[in-house]
């Protein structure tokens, strides 16, 4: 079974609107972390936001927020007020296991976001 | 930004030739990883290392080997390159103590490998 599933291969959003990128995960470990990375056309992987499995509140970082629904095993990324520079590939990832241990990381297949002017 | 470099950044080679990709870090992170990125698959783990001379296989390790003789260097070798190994290869590092908050991975810039 896939550890991380991103069901939206590509999405369009109008500039200044909000957009939600979906991510579901699968793990039986009570300790895990969820990450979102951005990959612009230049190719580098940029860390955006993190949510720990024991965190009570949804993570926020500027215009990024993570809609964490633990019972549904979903960790959707919300980008508010989209900008042209948000056009990129976005990856959801999971660190399985406690934060202080060695961990494997699992990545989804990505969502290509295009922001239209 | 984490100090991670990859060399070469681009390489074109022929089927059957050996290829070695190098990942070098200056962050003293304990754990190092090699991924390949292909359209529709995201990043898939090839091999990882949890210390000098300690390595293990990931989910797509066939046709690849690795070595880590120093903390800062992690080498990925394609013993006999095939066209199916055409991909973008990323090195990543992590350390639960040095990157205390999230134990996230930091990525190198990637190597684009084309096997003809």
Helix/strand number for chain B, H first, E second? 0, 11
Give the C-alpha separation, B6 to B96, whole Å. Answer: 22
DSSP secondary structure of A6-22: ---SEEEEETTS-EEE-
| Residue A1 in contact with partner chain B when CB distance is under 8 A | no
Average pLDDT over residues A84-103: 88
Annotate B72-101 with three-state secondary structure.
Answer: CEEEEEECCCCHHHCEEEEEEEECCCCCCC
Q: What percent of chain B has pLDDT over 70?
A: 96
Handedness of CA A45, A11, A108, B87 (dihedral sign): negative
Residue pair A114/A12 in contact (Cβ under 8 Å)? The answer is yes
Contact call for A33 and B88, based on CB within 8 A: no
Cis peptide before B14 (omega within 30 of 0): no
Q: Tell me which chain B residues have a C-beta less than 8 angstroms from the C-beta of A43.
A: 88, 109-110
pLDDT of residue B14: 96
Q: What percent of chain A has pLDDT over 90?
A: 88
Identify the burial level of A41 via C-beta atoms within 10 angstroms of its C-beta, where 0-12 means exposed, 13-18 middle and 19 or more buried: exposed
pLDDT of residue B100: 57
Contact call for A103 and B43, based on CB within 8 A: no
Confidence of residue B1 (pLDDT cuts 50, 70, 90): low
Give the C-alpha separation, A37 to A22, whole Å. Answer: 13
For residues B22, B25, B31, B32, the Cα torsion angle rounded to the nearest 10 degrees is: -20
pLDDT of residue B2: 59
The sheet with strand B73-78 has its strands ordered as: B4-7, B19-25, B73-78, B64-70
Confidence of residue A1 (pLDDT cuts 50, 70, 90): confident
pLDDT of residue B60: 94
Q: Tell me which chain A residues have a C-beta less than 8 angstroms from the C-beta of B90.
A: 45
Residue B72 structure tokens: 């800062």
Q: Tell me which chain A residues have a C-beta less than 8 angstroms from the C-beta of B45.
A: 104-106
| Residue B103 in contact with partner chain A when CB distance is under 8 A | yes
Q: Is the pLDDT of residue B102 over 60?
A: yes
pLDDT digits (tens, 9 = 90+) for A41-79: 999 999 999 999 999 999 999 999 999 999 999 999 999
Give the C-alpha separation, B102 to B50, whole Å. Answer: 17
pLDDT digits (tens, 9 = 90+) for B13-55: 999 999 999 999 998 899 999 999 998 888 999 999 989 999 9
Mean pLDDT, all residues of chain A: 93
Average pLDDT over residues B62-74: 96
């Amino acid at each position: 079974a896939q550890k991380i599933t991103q069901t939206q291969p590509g999405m369009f959003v109008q500039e200044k609107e909000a957009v939600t990128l979906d991510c579901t995960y699968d793990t039986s470990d009570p300790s895990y972390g969820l990450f979102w990375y951005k990959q612009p056309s230049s190719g580098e992987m940029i860390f955006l936001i993190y949510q720990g499995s024991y965190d009570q509140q949804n993570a926020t970082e500027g215009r990024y927020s993570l809609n964490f629904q633990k019972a549904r095993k979903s960790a959707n990324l919300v980008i508010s007020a989209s900008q042209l520079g948000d056009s990129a590939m976005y990856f959801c990832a999971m660190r399985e296991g406690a934060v202080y241990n060695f961990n494997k990381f699992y990545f989804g297949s990505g969502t290509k976001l295009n922001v239209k002017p | 930004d984490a100090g991670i470099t990859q060399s070469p950044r681009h390489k074109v080679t022929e089927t059957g030739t050996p290829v070695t990709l190098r990942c070098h870090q200056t962050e003293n992170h304990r754990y190092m990883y090699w991924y390949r990125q292909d359209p529709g698959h995201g990043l898939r783990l090839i091999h990882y290392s949890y210390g000098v001379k300690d390595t293990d296989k990931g989910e797509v390790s066939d046709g690849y080997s690795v070595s880590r003789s120093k903390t800062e260097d992690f080498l990925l070798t394609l013993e006999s390159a095939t066209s199916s190994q055409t991909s973008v290869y990323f090195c990543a590092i992590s350390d639960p103590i040095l990157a205390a908050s999230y134990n996230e991975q930091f990525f190198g810039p990637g190597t684009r490998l084309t096997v003809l």
